[in-house]
Amino acid sequence: MTSAMEMHVDEQAYPRPAYAWYVVGVLCAGYLFAFIDRIIVGLLTPAIQADLRITDTEAGLLQGMAFALFYTLFGIPMGWMADRWNRKRLLAIGMTVWSLMTATCGLAGSFLLLFLARVGVGVGEATLNPCAASMISDYFPPRTRPRAFGVYVLGTALGAVLTYLTGGLVIGALQAHATIPVPLVGDLRSWQVTFLAVGLPGLIPALLFMLTVKEPKRLDLAAANKGRASWAETRTFLRLNRATFFCQFVGVALILMAGYGFLNWLPTYFLRVHGWGPAKFSMNFGLTAGVAGMVSALSAGWLASAFRARGYVDGTLRACFFACAAVTVGGTIVPLMGTPEMSLGLYALTALFVNTPPVLSYSAIAEVTPNEMRALVTSLYVLLTGLISSGLGPLAVGFVTDRIFGDRQAIGLSLSLTTAVTGCLGSALLFYGLRAYRESLARVTWRQ
């Protein structure tokens, strides 16, 4: 069954499919490096703590808030610019900034300097999702858009796999050396060399994006002044759809809060509770849960289409709700398993749904938002998900371990507790917001 919204779309207005898929492939590569730069600090946390003598709460700040606060706050002006300026150039600049700032993390010798470098990573990555979401919406019609967003978000799954596989190999190779001589820099710790090794290659997709990707023509225009919405139009649109966006954005953010807590603290959990060092954990995690996360990203569009085929107008967000419920149940149980093999196996099953919420969130935003506002609305989504998930997720787990359980060995209980609380709240919000989402879909006029 094809939805009414999709029947009124002139797919000839969109760029050639082959080139569109090439562009989303480049965007996926950029997201891959962005995600590696974002989460590598979690894998390096034990070494950083030992070298800089920082607490779990301070480590949570480095993993989350240092990056997320500026990533989200700068996302609003970046979204406003992306709706009005050349998105290709804006994103190419952002790619360059976050890659260089990740490399700069490798030169930090104190908590403060490392914190500031992580802030720089966040500022650069603030350009990514607003620009990418807006461009993908202009490269792909609604029928294939969820699959395109799935390939884009695949970058996070690939980033996780490469972070743990290559990061584990690098750590395993370098951990025998107290310091490593680096030309033009001097002797660095192994964790510092790792930051340099993952940061600088990110300049490759930045260059490729700038030289080979074209700025697409803006489609799905609804503002009176086509191509540029006034603040009055934007405020009216946000007010009409406030229930939809609040339930979706906050609901998904709470689910991702648990996800980022896991991404950043799972290596430490396996080390403290199960005795698996970073190298062993990385290889096993990358080959199981990492691959499952890739399947999750690619299957999200199919899941949404399956719900719509059954007659659910709200199929995109409904599929998102079911995935969030599965992540909540699995994530709560994973840290309570008695062996590392059982924990990793159950986490791999849970990871089959872990990338579904962000894929379908981008698709849901594009379904109800006209072109002139998509980057800004996406930046509002990034603001909430970034502050709550990236900012509070790792910090919450570290805080619960330090302040509630008061035992570093209770890291598993901390992961389970934060997942249960945030996951139930997030899933409930998404379910409650389905009605508002259907009402937002009914107000769409620009494709008719």
- Tens-digit pLDDT profile for residues 363-403: 899 889 888 888 889 888 888 887 788 778 888 888 888 88
Tell which residue, 402, 409, 419, 382, has the closest CA to residue 34. 382
What local confidence, expressed as pLDDT, does residue 221 receive?
64
More confident site: 7 or 23: 23
More confident site: 222 or 358: 358
Asked if residue 269 is part of any domain, the answer here is yes
Which tokens in the block code for residue 116? 């500031």
Which tokens in the block code for residue 164? 């743990």
Report the C-alpha gap between 168 and 22 in whole angstroms. Answer: 30
Confidence of residue 107 (pLDDT cuts 50, 70, 90): confident
Asked if residue 344 is part of any domain, the answer here is yes
What does the CA dihedral 24, 29, 34, 40 come to, rounded to 10 degrees?
A: 140
Residues forming a β-bridge with 403: none
Asked if residue 3 is part of any domain, the answer here is no
SS (H, E, C) 412-426: HHHHHHHHHHHHHHH
What local confidence, expressed as pLDDT, does residue 282 receive?
78
* Domain carrying residue 97: 12-217+229-442
What local confidence, expressed as pLDDT, does residue 71 receive?
81
Asked if residue 224 is part of any domain, the answer here is no
Long-range own/partner contacts, residues 142-147 (CB < 8 A, 24 or more apart) = 142/5, 142/6, 142/9, 142/366, 142/367, 142/447, 143/2, 143/6, 143/9, 143/11, 144/17, 145/363, 145/366, 146/300, 146/301, 146/304, 146/305, 146/316, 146/359, 146/360, 146/363, 147/298, 147/301, 147/302
Q: Which residue has the tokens 């034990």?
A: 46
Q: Which residue has the tokens 């025998």?
A: 176
What local confidence, expressed as pLDDT, does residue 68 receive?
75
Under DSSP, the state recorded for 395 is: H
Report the C-alpha gap between 370 and 444 in whole angstroms. Answer: 8
Asked if residue 271 is part of any domain, the answer here is yes
CATH of the domain at 127: 1.20.1250.20
Which tokens in the block code for residue 357? 């919420």
Asked if residue 222 is part of any domain, the answer here is no
Asked if residue 7 is part of any domain, the answer here is no
Q: What are phi and psi of 264, to 5 degrees?
A: -85, -30
Tell which residue, 320, 326, 364, 362, has the closest CA to residue 347. 326
Overall number of domains in the chain: 1
Report the C-alpha gap between 239 and 263 in whole angstroms. Answer: 35
What local confidence, expressed as pLDDT, does residue 47 receive?
79
Asked if residue 335 is part of any domain, the answer here is yes
Degrees (nearest 5) of the Cα angle 270, 252, 359?
90
Mean pLDDT of 51-80: 80
What local confidence, expressed as pLDDT, does residue 448 receive?
46
Under DSSP, the state recorded for 61 is: I
% the chain with pLDDT above 90: 30
What local confidence, expressed as pLDDT, does residue 447 receive?
57
Sequence letter at residue 144: T
What local confidence, expressed as pLDDT, does residue 440 receive?
93
Under DSSP, the state recorded for 403 is: I
pLDDT in tens, 146-169: 889 888 988 878 887 777 777 666
Report the C-alpha gap between 85 and 435 in whole angstroms. Answer: 34
What local confidence, expressed as pLDDT, does residue 7 receive?
42
What local confidence, expressed as pLDDT, does residue 185 receive?
72
Which tokens in the block code for residue 128? 């990514």
